[in-house]
Amino acid sequence: MQLTKTKNKQKKLRSAKRNQNFAYRFAYLVLFLLHGITALSFYFILNPLLWILRKH
């Protein structure tokens, strides 16, 4: 009886750890995507502005 209890506890801990890892990875992915989107938007916003400034 005690053995199954400890095994279940280990299982729960393991799954919790996996969920935590997944959450971290998901957060990193979201941050990376946000960074890429902001970089691209800055590029597309600033590039025409720079062209306009160069023409004058």
Kindly state the DSSP code that residue 1 receives in the 8-state scheme: -
What confidence score (pLDDT) does residue 55 get?
83
What confidence score (pLDDT) does residue 1 get?
64
pLDDT in tens, the chain (56 residues): 677 888 888 888 888 888 889 999 999 999 999 999 999 998 888 888 888 888 87
What confidence score (pLDDT) does residue 5 get?
83
What confidence score (pLDDT) does residue 48 get?
87
Side-chain half-sphere exposure of 49, counting CA atoms within 13 A: 6
Element housing 17 (H / E): helix 2-55
Tokens representing 5 are 């209890």
What confidence score (pLDDT) does residue 4 get?
82
Long-range contacts of 38-46 (CB under 8 A, 24+ apart): none
